[in-house]
Amino acid sequence: MCYAIPGKVSFFSGKTVVIDYFGEKKKAVNELSGLSVGDYVYAQGGYVIQKVPAAEALEILSTWHELFLQLNEVDLQHSRLSESRASGVPELDRILDKACAGTELSDAELLYLLALKDPQQVGLLLKTANFLRQKHHRNACCVHGILEISNRCARNCAYCGISSHNKRLPRYRMTKEEVLSCVGEAVERHGFKAIVLQSGEQTQAGIEELSGLVRAIKEKYPLLVLVSFGEIGGTGLSELFSAGARGLLMRFETSNPALYRSLHPGYELESRVNLIREAYRMGYLIITGGLIGLPGQTPRDIINDIHLAAELNAEMFSFGPVLPHPGTPLSGISAPSEDELFKVLALARIAAPAESKILLTTAAETLAPGAGRKGLLSGANSLMLNLTPLSYRPLYSIYPSRAHSGEDISLQVEGTMRLLKSLGRVPIDLGIG
């Protein structure tokens, strides 16, 4: 199963190309040499990653075309809004009609939606978000892999199980050979086209090794490589970009500076946000967002979090629940409710730029059984599957009882494909408009 479909290059303007997918045009950045109008390519996250021979591309497209249309009909059934969708609450109906029309909602209106408690009213909010997801992205759903290459971390985050607070956790770092083997299996056996390399935050001294790893992956595999190594500084990001990394996964966690400081003593929100801004200027695709359920967090903070993700030019919004690890200072706090989580995903879809993707996190699936289906019906259209070897996965213990922790990648792929098919989604990234 491919996690991308080939498209045909129809236009060039410098490094920007326009790619045709079944009549739908998408832009992408091209860094390949020798590409021409009429060529077929794979693209991920708005980057061309591979040229595809025409015969191979046409064979894939002939298989996908009918299936794509069939699944799109299923998706339309799930995302269609009833003509009699009125809630009986004039203010709610007004706000949701405004959202459906693509009109920007005020903060007061977003706070009104976030405060909804009635199950039927919450259901209407989620349906509205799913309608907008289909309107802007059709039935495409990004499926990326994430490989946790090390759990060594110097940070003191108050909730994370691989932070310096957890003294009992054995630490590991995968070898270059182990990483390349995992990436090779993901690409060659399972068809992944985009992979996140993640680790705990270390020091600048490790950048040369990480850059060499990214360079080795890019030399061997046509792949969009994203990195998530924490606050490694502008120089570190620049070195990784030169090596071939093109995406950055880094949550700011909260837009409230005082709350951030309480979670990370000795660190400042401004430094983290400035680093994300710098990464965007370098050309990185940005995946960022906040945590839901932090102690002291207010509804206004959550709305500000959504706005900050948009201001940081997020290609993908990542919002997930706080699930504190027992070995951390926040071990005693309660997780947010399912409704709280899905309302935030829906609001992110409503308030985000139309082209943005909404990630459904593993933490969400850990919080709520069935969150995969419900999240995808609440505006989400991106998933990350865990490529970390089963021997290391228990040691990347950011929170307890992680969903899919005992499933190898084959089982995750099979389950994900069943879920997407049932919803009429296709596991492809059509890039940006």
Residue 69: how many other CB atoms lie within 10 Å: 11
Residue type, 141: C
Q: How confident is the model at residue 1 (pLDDT cuts 50, 70, 90)?
A: very low
- The helix (H) or strand (E) run that includes residue 321 is strand 320-321
How far apart CA 327 and CA 331 sit, in angstroms, is 7
How far apart CA 146 and CA 416 sit, in angstroms, is 15
Condensed to tens digits (0 to 9), the pLDDT of residues 300-352 reads 999 999 999 999 999 999 999 999 999 999 998 999 999 999 999 999 999 99
Domain boundaries defined on the chain: 7-77, 137-423
Q: What separation in angstroms does the CA of 63 have from each of 2, 21, 31, 57, 320?
A: 12, 14, 28, 10, 36
Q: How far is CA 180 from the centre of its chain?
A: 23
Condensed to tens digits (0 to 9), the pLDDT of residues 346-391 reads 999 999 999 999 999 999 999 988 899 999 999 999 999 999 999 9
CATH number of 7-77: 2.30.30.140
- 8 A C-beta contact, residue 174 and residue 149: yes
| pTM of the entire predicted model | 0.96
Q: How confident is the model at residue 2 (pLDDT cuts 50, 70, 90)?
A: low
Q: Please determine, looking at this structure, whether the domain spanning 137-423 carries the CATH number 3.20.20.70.
A: yes
